Amino acid sequence: MAELFPISAYWWFYLSFIGLVVLLLAVDLGVFHRKAHAVGFREAATWTVIWIGLALIFNLLLYQYALWKFPRDPRLMAIPGFDPAGAAWRVSLEFLTGYVIEKSLSVDNIFVFVMVFSYFAIPARYQHRVLFFGILGAIVFRGVFVAMGAALMRYHWVVLFFGVFLIFTGIKIVVVKEKPPDPGRNLLVRMLRRAFPVTNALHGSKFFAREQGTLHITPLLIALTFLEATDILFAVDSVPAIFAFTKEPLIVFTSNIFAILGLRSLYFMLAGAVEKFHLLRYGLGAVLVFVGLKMVWLNHLFDGQFPIALSLGIIGALIGASVGLSLLFPKRVPDGMAPTQPEGELAAASPRANQKRSKVRKSSQAASGKPSRATVRVLWKVVAFYVLLLGLGLILRAAFGS
């Protein structure tokens, strides 16, 4: 099938979308987060709803635009049997599926955020700044990955390769015991430490600081570098996974970016309850296996394309089940056992690190019993979030379906 949104004809759309993203980020940092402060649950939940709402509004506008544009495109109408209304509806479902996949896989990032901020003893009031620039860099790298994917996915052997890769990645997530990454052993972190002197203490929200006339980098920049490197690894899974459901780079790019934009607020909303999602990794592994099977086998069983609505339902069911089971069967920490804390040069050298580890230890011990009512409410809101995304397809079909 011909490309619905060729880059040569829709370059203006990409530029406009990037401009919109830059504007939203500028308003976010320059207006609402101009002063460094700890983001509370209520503020994070509000922004989470805003970012999800913007993604859904964009999806609706994209559907309406496709519904208007496709019948007026001579190139598409010249294709025998082309259904403009059906193609527009499929575009909407593909965006929603890509958004759900990226949003689900990005939950893994939240586990890394918690570990990195604890390791480098980054105060809560500076975490938003680190994540802001981390998201900014992630947008650039995702654009590069999408462009590469659009070029490579034209070859059947590449599709099969990434399909097998996703299957093995999913199996590895389920079977192999997960080990938290060690920022101190990361190659980029070690290169930064060798290339620049590093301060033992933070200098406010600065990434660079002068001490005794010498320019130093602060732990804030070290944390940012590690988060960027980690996001690149996550993109290796997420971008090919979305290409399994659509061949349109525009849909892959926009759904990916919208999911990333809401990642900061989702982190601040769920960071306190992140350890409760101990079964989520199995749901994510099952999703990757399903996506890989779709690329190498299932599509061929359905004349080249597995039903997108069924795919969305399967993905939502897998993620929802893993979240629900985590809620029904909370993880227990044996009495007298405190979770081990990562050790690092910066963390050990900073007095703030000791205070941070003490706070983390206390909060972990408090979480060893039954989940609090606040935690249960948070988990139920996460379940409701996925139900909302799944129900959106049915709502759009009832309202705009032909």
Range of the domain at 17: 11-400
First to last CA, the chain: 21
- Predicted confidence band of residue 373 (pLDDT cuts 50, 70, 90): low
Residue 274 lies in a domain: yes
Closest CA to 381 of 32, 46, 40, 39: 46
- Predicted confidence band of residue 398 (pLDDT cuts 50, 70, 90): very low
Q: pLDDT: is 397 or 1 the higher one?
A: 1
pLDDT in tens, 62-113: 999 999 999 999 999 999 989 999 999 999 999 999 999 888 887 777 878 8
Residue 331 lies in a domain: yes
Residue 185 lies in a domain: yes
Residue 4 lies in a domain: no
pLDDT in tens, 169-203: 888 888 877 666 677 677 777 888 888 888 878 88
pLDDT in tens, 287-345: 888 888 888 888 777 777 788 888 888 988 888 898 888 888 887 665 554 444 444 44
Q: Reduce the DSSP state of residue 339 to 3 states and report it.
A: coil
Residue 266 lies in a domain: yes
CA distance 44 to 265: 5
Residue 349 lies in a domain: yes
Residue 60 lies in a domain: yes
pLDDT for residue 17: 92
Whether pTM exceeds 0.85: no
**Total number of domains in the chain:** 1
Lowest mean pLDDT among 46-60, 120-134, 318-332, 386-400: 386-400
Average pLDDT, the chain: 79
Cα-Cα-Cα-Cα dihedral sign, residues 102, 263, 174, 240: positive
DSSP string, 7-39: TTTSHHHHHHHHHHHHHHHHHIIIIITSS--PP
pLDDT in tens, 125-171: 888 888 888 888 888 888 888 888 888 888 888 888 988 888 898 88
pLDDT for residue 1: 59
CA distance 22 to 259: 15
Residue 20 lies in a domain: yes
